[in-house]
Amino acid sequence: MKGAQQKIYTVNNNLNATHNVLCAIVESGLDIHLVHLGTMGVYGYGTAGMKIPEGYLNVQVVTEKGEVIEQEILYPANPGSIYHMTKTQDQLFFGFYNQNDGVKVTDLHQGIVWGTQTVQTRLDERLINRFDYDGDYGTVLNRFLMQAVINYPLTVHGTGGQTRAFIHIQDTVRCIQIALENPPAAGDRVNILNQMTETYRVRDLANLVSEITGVPIEYVKNPRNEDDENELHVSNDRFLGLGLEPITLDNGLLDEVSDIAKKYSHRCDKSKIKCVSYWNARKD
């Protein structure tokens, strides 16, 4: 969202990559199950007034004769960024190639990933995952953790009432494994699962980090074009039913502070923490 060139690159890169993979699957003639790591952002971050289902929504449609018929449709997309918009269009690619060519697809609508270690990466420090804390790529929790260990006030955008879905990186790996082990049958529609384990308001997340570290919170102007406050209730019953045992922020966050953020805080570039990319041309 930094500018036109970045938007053009995101659209070209994301959509062409997805479409190329689907074309390759069809041309190969092989029985391939595509697992797509998508985003909860396809649903949007407004208050839905309901628990968001896993991909599909049952609706009633009134015909011109006044009859009521029931249909099942993709949950209405409401992207909040160019990236999220490309993910909503991925859904249409999957639906078309599933119906037209019989491609088996599982689409994982993933929440914000936190944590940097899995069982495997803990075996050797060289396997550690990336930890982005900057204003462009850093997810909100990573930013808060890095700010806390260098005693930099936790910067909350707007009121902090934005509610988001979260999942630990180990649970992400486990969910992908579950998806691979439970492929859709031939002829099944696109399989959509919500890959998240809990939701938090940003200000509540900041309070949680502040309580652990003692670093104060600072509320700043929101550079994004989004609702100040929203509710987010999400169904994730299918992964839980398939054996997922979530790692929650309550029982895993302290390890992330001590094992990662503190250990590598000397590498932090404070000038990169502040978010300077605006969602649109208005910067007032």
Domains of the chain: 4-272 (3.90.25.10)
The answer to whether residue 2 is catalytic is: no
Q: How many CB atoms lie within 10 A of CB 236?
A: 22
User: Within 54-128, where are the H helices?
Assistant: 82-101
Average pLDDT of the chain, as a whole number: 92
Q: In whole angstroms, how far apart are CA 110 and each of 66, 176, 272? A: 39, 10, 26
The answer to whether residue 283 is catalytic is: no
pTM score, two decimals? 0.91
The answer to whether residue 163 is catalytic is: no
Residue 50, SS3 per DSSP: coil
168-180 b/e with 16+ CB inside 10 Å = b? Answer: bbbbbebbbebbe
Q: In the sheet where 163-168 sits, what is the strand order?
A: 112-114, 163-168, 198-201
Q: List, for residues 231-243, the tens digit of each pLDDT value.
A: 899 999 999 999 9
Answer whether residue 53 shows pLDDT above 70.
Answer: yes
For tokens 């060289």, what's the residue? Answer: 126
SS3 breakdown of the chain: % helix, strand, coil, rounded to 5?
40, 20, 40
Tokens standing for 196?
């998240």
Averaged pLDDT, 140-154: 92
Active-site position among 18, 45, 87, 197 = 87
Active-site position among 7, 10, 83, 121 = 83
Q: For residue 95, what pLDDT is reported?
A: 98
